[in-house]
Structure 1
Amino acid sequence: MKQFGYQHIKCIDNVPEFERSLKEVYFDVIVLDMNMGNSDLTGGLNMLEVVENNHITSAVIILTANDTVTNCRQAFLQGAWDYISKNWEGDTFEMVHDSIQNALQKLNRWGNVDNDRWFNENKTDLMQKRPGQWIAILNQDIIESAYTKDELIKKLRGLSLPAVATTIEHVLPQVHSPNLQNEHLMEIINEDENQTVDFKKTACRTMNPKATNPKEPKAIQKIVKEVASFMNSKVGGAVIIGVRDKDHEIVGVELDYVVAVKQKSRQNWDGYESFIRQILDDNLTSNKPLEYKIYRHELAGKMVCRIAVPPAKSEVYHNDIKKTTCFSVRDGSRSKTLNVRETVSYVLANHSANS
């Protein structure tokens, strides 16, 4: 394969050495022969299983002189990138070379899917443990981290890493962090609503142009419900007001000022913050003090309100539009109100030790 310009090649002819190498060396591409260390011609598939079980994210090419439909199907089911028969017409090494190049081009263009999936699945936990850090992920594991991307890249240059198998991601600070910077909030706004983030266009205005009363009680109660849901979650979250949830457009809360506060001299941020605090204190109940903070952020020339909500130390109940006491929790990207039986089960499982 050196004739095609590959410089770092490691040849292995037995299974134990292969397994050791997976722990010691990072590979962009692994080519496995079906006859490798196995008399029944399934050694390549066995080694592919080892690769899969160890979360190795290298592209794997199966090479064989005894190709069967069954083996080909099994190889792809186990995550092989390609399956090449030595019996096909043409130069086998050229076929392998073309396959390697296609694999590298795909990884360069789309990134490493397994690493990306691991990052998304563990994002909430990472925000708690590594807020604000840049991390390098290889084989679904963090191999290096730093507080700037340039610093991380410098660290990676000193390591013998594969060209494309390493994924670099930025772990945003927790959305309810008191030190959340505007640039980080913009990154959060550019993403979709999730377990820890909810967008609201307004806290109190009606969207009906024909309405005689500009204040909308349902909008107020939605804010209350979202805050209660984050309080009852394990990780907390934030309600961001002044952002349209459909397209993430920043609309600001300035139009809320006039509707929220009757006194003209108080139709400003201070009056608005007092209004938000009042509706929360009037509609949330718990046997322990409520903990939340209200922050303002100027983004795109408009004021955005962030209600930062850490997880509560005890269960939190809220009033609905009819002043009925309810219990809600965060369920993915939405809040869900539980019935009595569900509430009892949830409280016993999550808050009984703190009550």
Structure 2
Amino acid sequence: MQTKNVHLLLVEDNPRFLNELLEWLGDYGYEQIETATSVAQAKEKLGKPFDVIIADMRMEQDDSGFAVIDEVKARNLSSVVIILTANDTVSDCRTAFKMGAWDYISKNMRGNIFDILHESIQEAIAYFNRWGNVQNEQWINENIETLDRTYFGQYIAVINKTVIDAADTEEILKRQIEERQLRRFLTTIRKIGELRPISELIKLPESDRLEYKSTFQWDVRRNCENKDLRFSTLKTIAAFLNSEGGTLIIGVEDNGNIFGLEKDFSLLSNGNLDRLERTIIDSICQCIGSNFTQQIKIRFEKIDGKDVCAIYIKKSAKKAWLQKTNEKKLEFYIRMSNRSEPLDLPNIYDHL
């Protein structure tokens, strides 16, 4: 980030000092500067994105600078806050840093205060350009299991230890952040979980973590619909849930030939990717349980001009049972090598 592109908000109620501050910052090369003379005005201005906010401590109230920090945190804004005050105290300085201020600068310091402020801004830019937000990274690592359940396979944007947006790709997420006019200065973007592209997976043979199916409910041999084939997909999903997780690819034959999803689309009214995904999710909810959908991510890719579906399944802490439609019998599956195998009651007991 170049100096001329840094967006600054100056919150200062002393007109004389504010004009002097504007003049000095202009000399340093800052071009994107807006001002506010009160906390109320600052709150209105914060509807726009700023990288750095420089706030006086005592304006309408003695703790006006803290009110600015509180507002930034309440809105989950990605902004650095620097307190610049003539009424400096050790207590205020300590409180400012505990609240997350980047710096606390006294107007009574020796030397050129504006040089010191400029150095602080540049240090903030250099630090975050290089390291990002360490607190956000630590928070993500500490909460990775919870985030994994909610955002598995997605990119998330975190500000002030809060997920403010998520998307399937980094490009889409960045676009969403820009549309919300959030500066990315303090925004941490992280991918949660690893979803390998289908084009890479289909080069691999079937295993305890990977399986292929030609279709979801189209009978290739009989060349017609066969809804019983859904349970072939569902038992594989249940087996992955009960084992170490895995990926099920639909639209690819065992030999790696791309069969595609056109036949499955033809069995759905207005058949398309969304309708097929909804049908698969509904089947999971009905026969395995809606609470397991958090461990499942469905994606589509076009390979050799044909649509292919990948269902990524995470290992579940809760055991998954498969119940066929209109049947009371429950079945229990696990992965054994490259197969999904049912267990009888004694083996289920041993497994549990």
- Give the shorter-chain TM-score range: 0.3 to 0.5
Give the TM-score normalised by structure 2: 0.47
Give the TM-score normalised by structure 1: 0.47
